[in-house]
Amino acid sequence: MRDFLAEMDALINNEQTEIEVAQPEFLDFQKVWVNYDHRKEIVGEAQRNGAVIYRKSESGIV
C-alpha cells in the first residue's frame, strides 16, 4: 500500500509536484487526507478515468 502521508508531506514541501490517485486507491487516500493538517492546501482535479490528481494550491488557500 502507498504511503500517502509521505507523498502529501513531499507535496507540501515542494519535493513532489503532484500525487495521482487511481480510483481503487481513493478511499485509502481519503482516510489519510481527512486527518492531514495541511489538507486545505492540497487541491484535487478529477480525471476522466476516475483518477484524481492532487497538487499543492498556488495560493495556499482553497
- 5-48, pLDDT tens digit by residue? 999 999 999 999 999 999 999 999 999 999 999 999 999 999 99
> Residue 12 CA to chain centroid, in angstroms?
10
Local confidence band at 61 (pLDDT 50, 70, 90 cut-offs): low
Q: Contact, 32 vs 22, CB < 8 A?
A: no
Torsion angles phi and psi, residue 26, rounded to 5: -55, -45
In three-state secondary structure terms, 61 is coil
Task: Provide the Cα torsion 5, 8, 10, 16; round to 10°.
Answer: 140
Q: Which cell is 38 given?
A: 495541511
In this prediction the pTM is 0.88
Place of cell 495556499: 60
